Each structure stands twice: as C-alpha cells, then as structure tokens.
Amino acid sequence: MSDVDEKTGPLWGRLGIEQYLITKWNHSSSTETPDQQRKRLVSKFLNTLIERKQDCTVEGKIRATPSHLREPTAEEIDTILRPYRCEKPRWQANITCMDRVCPILLRTHYAENENEKKRHDKMMEEWIDVNQFYEEAWWAVLDDVNLFDFGSEWRRIYDVLPEIAYPVYFREVEEGDQNILRDNYVEPQEHVEMRMHFKRGIAAAKRDDPEARRNDRNTMIESIHTLQREAAYRYIVIADEKAFESGRLRVIYPDGLQRIIREGRIEPDYHDIGTVAGLWENACEILGPECTTLDEKYQINGEIGKELYELTEEDLADP
C-alpha cells in the first residue's frame, strides 16, 4: 500500500458536507434507504445558497473549527459518514478546500483492454509531468477506477467530492442553517470593480480593431473574459475517452453553482496543463475563444450574461 493510500482524512465531522449530513439526517425515515437519503442530502447541499450573517474571521483568517462545530457520534460515523466515503477522498476533499490554484485532473475513462490501459496510463503520466503536480498530484489527480469511472457523466464528481464545487466553512449564519456558509459565490451584478475593467477593455477593443466590432460585435465583447474569469471558482481538467483518443484534455471553467462558463479542449501544440495552470495562477486568465466556447447562459444575451456584463447603449455603440 502506498503512502497516499494510507493517508487518513481529518477528524470525522470536520468537513462541511459531513456536518450537513449529520445535522440534516432523518433517523426515522421510512421512505428512503440510507443511500437514497445521502444522495438527496448531498444534492441539496450542492444547490442551497446560505447567506452570511456576519463575518467571523479572526485576523483575516477563516475560523475553520469553531466552538459550535458538532462532533458526530460513533453511530453517526458508522451509519452516515463512513458509508459515504473512505479516508482517501476525505483527505483529498480537505486539501481541495484549501487550494484553488492547482488544477484538478479528473480521469473518467478506464479502458478494459490491457494494452489500451497501459497506453492510457502512460498518457496520464505525461500529462501529470508538469510543475503544478510535482507535490500535489496525490490529491489533485483523481485517478481511481473504483471512484471516478464516470464515462461521460463527469458531473458525478460533485457527488463524491462536493468540495470541488466550493469549500464550506463554519461561521455564524441565519438561525436554522446549521452554521454552514459557502462563501465563494458572488451574484453576477455584484462584480462592480471588475466590470469597470471589462468595459475599459471593450472601449480599447473598439478603438484598436473597429472592423472586428463591426463584423461581430458580440464575439468581440465576449472574447474579453475579465468578468468570466471573476465568475469562475476553479477549473477542472478531464481525461475522458475523447482525451485519450485525441490527446486533447477537456477543460471546464464552472462558476460557484456548478454552471459551466467556458469549456473546450487543451490543444497540445499550444498548451499543456502547466501553461493552463500558469494562466490561472499568474495572470488570472482562462483559456479564451481559441480553445474554449462560452456557454449560452454566459453570452451577452444569456440569462447570466445580461446581469454579469450590464451592457449599456454606450458600450454597444460604434467607436
């Protein structure tokens, strides 16, 4: 057994999803099996926004284990928490909460043919051979046929590791919400400062390339992804079946509610995971239209885009 396999997670109940499960669990439910109840509660956890009541940081740092954290009983650990996930993904979840810089590399395809499996394993080794994974691969590379054999259903990762969607800290929030706060999601209209940079970018683009503006105004504006980067919580790189066939890893930039902002494929002639990670870490950039497609919801006339960009007639007018 490797050192990674022997790692144990934090104390039971320290992870946000674990607090949610033990405080929301219906011990007398006669309509659901334990597995059904866990699945329902994880889904609810992922889709429930909780508002901040007050800022409970200490000297600028998040208070991760406050006094009101409820310890699970031995029975709750055995009947609710341990059947949900074993120690390794709990350890990975704990680190994921603290690191949004290192890319998450999720392998969702596992060939049955032995020769294909060896070839795919070699491709994984080459993809991981970048600076970002030298010390982080043990938690950031999700490669386990028993846990992540999702095929095309990559979103199932949120069921196993909801922490990839966002970290959950424990702070004082509205009564009845079990002191759980997810603090990564910002409403589109609240990106005020970054919207100013975005609109300055529009003005510069119209001035520098008026022909592009006349030919396709929307594409020109949507290619300025300042606000899209601000809305992205993290990014996920996926080694799916097509990635192993083509050598082009899938990359997805979701927002804090797991909605896709941009997605596409990493072109190996121009990028590898290291350069994609470097854009995110050093320049606060995401892969643009040369490699990715903007989701319809985030386009200028999309339901999120309208609120995010807040475009005026002046913004859209000819230079």
Model pLDDT for residues 289-307, shown as the tens digit of each residue: 889 999 999 999 999 999 9
Residue 74 pLDDT level (bands cut at 50, 70, 90): very high
Residue 222 pLDDT level (bands cut at 50, 70, 90): very high
- Range scoring the smallest mean pLDDT among 15-29, 59-73, 89-103, 264-278: 59-73
Nearest one of 303, 237, 298 to 272, comparing CA atoms = 237
Distance CA 160, CA 127 (A): 23
pLDDT above 90 for 264? yes
Nearest one of 292, 178, 188, 193 to 235, comparing CA atoms = 292
pLDDT of res. 126: 94
Nearest one of 163, 55, 40 to 104, comparing CA atoms = 163
What would the mean pLDDT of 277-293 be, rounded to a whole number? 88
The predicted model scores a pTM of 0.86
Which residues in 212-250 are b (16+ Cβ under 10 Å) and which e? Answer: ebeeebeebbbbbbbbbbbbbbbbbbbbbeebbeeebbb
What would the mean pLDDT of 244-252 be, rounded to a whole number? 97
pLDDT of res. 51: 36
Model pLDDT for residues 93-121, shown as the tens digit of each residue: 988 877 777 889 999 999 999 999 999 99
Domain ranges of the chain: 1-98+167-183, 100-154+185-319
Residue 27 pLDDT level (bands cut at 50, 70, 90): very high
Percentage of the chain with pLDDT > 70? 85
